[in-house]
């Protein structure tokens, strides 16, 4: 049976690179793998949630721009998905264009995260260019055509796949630019070194967040990330997303989660998993 892996597409995105990097782990018995590109992060995750694909690979956090809010919001809504593994990939952006020099560029297309990760370079090299958001770094390439006034921020791999010229590379503001991707499915989480969860609290009152966090502090459980996202119900109300450096199968973590339920209105555990660092992207 072939294993289907949904990812943000078209071919040439960093999400596809993460999906390719996960194939060996997802097919330990040598099964065939089919990559299934989707036009948005939400549709990618929905594919796994609705069993249209066995797995979904989506970005969750960038070392420069922080969390990918679309992924967090859909994790909360599609709470049947479990994290199977995380992959950390180096991200190197290139400026693709048919222009012969930067002065010709009037508009730059790319995914909002890529535009943000290159903001300083764009302000310096292309201060008057219009920045236009696209659903993915590869989708942005469709705007190039033969128009020399348009550029797109994408990967070197995308340039090779679509035979497009690179005008400048690399252009990301920080050389150690990395994105953490997560592999999601309906399968129970396998356990590992990290656990991700989210919770909501009943009222926006002073000290309401202290008790949930003390649950982990009292047990010496390290939190590697905490972030709030609006509930979209009442202004000033939030969900809180946490990453723990711990395995939810261990008794101290199970005890902490049981106590956490008493201090939260809603608790969603997205699973425990290992994190794999990828040195380079082909």
- Summarised one tens digit per residue, pLDDT across range 152-203 is 999 999 999 999 999 999 999 998 999 999 999 999 999 999 999 999 987 6
Q: What is the mean pLDDT of residues 132-156?
A: 90
* Mean pLDDT calculated for residue range 54-69: 94
Model pLDDT for residues 192-247, shown as the tens digit of each residue:
999 999 999 876 667 788 889 999 999 999 999 999 999 877 777 889 999 999 99
pLDDT at residue 202 in the model: 76
Closest by CA position to 144, among listed 158, 157, 128: 158
What's the burial of 236, exposed, middle or buried (CB within 10 Å: 0-12/13-18/19+)? exposed
pLDDT value for 209? 86
CATH superfamily placement of domain 94-168? Periplasmic binding protein-like II (3.40.190.10)
pLDDT at 61: 95
Predicted local distance difference test score (pLDDT) of residue 171: 96
* pLDDT at 280 > cutoff 70: no
Q: CATH topology for 3-91+177-188?
A: D-Maltodextrin-Binding Protein; domain 2 (3.40.190)
Buried b (16+ CB within 10 A) or exposed e, 185-207: beeebeebebbbbbbbbeeeeee
> What percent of the chain is predicted at pLDDT more than 90?
80
Residue of 2, 6, 80, 4 lying closest to 43 (CA atoms): 6
In SS3 terms, the chain reads as CCEEEEEECCCCCHHHHHHHHHHHHHCCCCCCEEEEEECCHHHHHHHHHCCCCCEEEEEEEECCCEECHHHHHHHHHCCCCEEEEEEEEECCCEEEECCCCHHHCCEEEECHHHHHHCHHHHHHHCCCCEEEECCCCCHHHHHCCCCCCEEEEECHHHHHHCCCCEEECCCCCCCCCEEEEEEEECCCCCCCCEEEEEEECCCCCCCCCHHHHHHHHCCCCCEEEEEEEECCCCCCCEEEEEEECCCCCCHHHHHHHHHHHHCCCEEEEEEEEEEEECCCCC
pLDDT for 204 = 66
Say yes or no to pLDDT of 74 above 60. yes
Return the CATH number of the domain spanning residue range 194-276. 3.30.70.260
Q: Where are the domains of the chain?
A: 3-91+177-188, 94-168, 194-276
Q: What is the dihedral sign for C-alpha 182, 28, 54, 6?
A: positive
**What is the pLDDT, as a whole number, of residue 281?**
57
Report whether pLDDT(84) > 60.
Answer: yes
3-91+177-188 against 94-168: fold identical: yes
* Distance in angstroms (rounded) separating the CA atoms of residues 24 and 196: 24
The answer, yes or no, to whether residue 79 has pLDDT greater than 70, is yes
């Amino acid at each position: 049976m072939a294993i289907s892996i949904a990812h943000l597409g078209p071919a040439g995105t960093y999400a596809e690179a993460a999906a390719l990097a996960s194939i060996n782990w997802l097919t330990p018995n040598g099964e065939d793998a089919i990559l299934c590109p989707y036009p948005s992060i939400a549709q990618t995750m929905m594919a796994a949630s609705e069993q249209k694909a066995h797995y979904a690979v989506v970005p969750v956090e960038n070392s420069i721009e922080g969390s990918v809010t679309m992924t967090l919001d859909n994790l909360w809504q599609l709470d049947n998905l479990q994290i199977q593994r995380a992959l950390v990939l180096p991200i190197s952006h290139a400026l693709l264009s048919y222009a012969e020099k930067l002065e010709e560029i009037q508009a730059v297309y790319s995914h909002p995260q890529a535009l943000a990760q290159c903001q300083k370079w764009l302000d310096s090299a292309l201060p008057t260019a219009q920045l236009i958001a696209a659903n993915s770094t590869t989708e942005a390439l469709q705007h190039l055509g033969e128009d020399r006034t348009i550029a797109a921020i994408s990967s070197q791999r995308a340039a090779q796949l679509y035979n497009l010229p690179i005008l400048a590379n690399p252009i990301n503001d920080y050389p150690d630019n990395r994105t953490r991707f997560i592999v999601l499915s309906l399968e129970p989480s396998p356990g590992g070194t990290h656990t991700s969860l989210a919770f909501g609290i009943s009222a926006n009152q002073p000290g309401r967040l202290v008790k949930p966090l003390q649950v982990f502090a009292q047990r010496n459980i390290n939190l590697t990330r905490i972030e709030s996202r609006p509930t979209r119900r009442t202004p000033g109300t939030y969900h809180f997303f946490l990453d723990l450096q711990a395995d939810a199968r261990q008794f101290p973590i199970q005890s902490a989660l049981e106590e956490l339920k008493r201090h939260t209105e809603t608790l969603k555990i997205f699973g425990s998993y290992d994190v794999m660092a990828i040195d380079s992207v082909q």
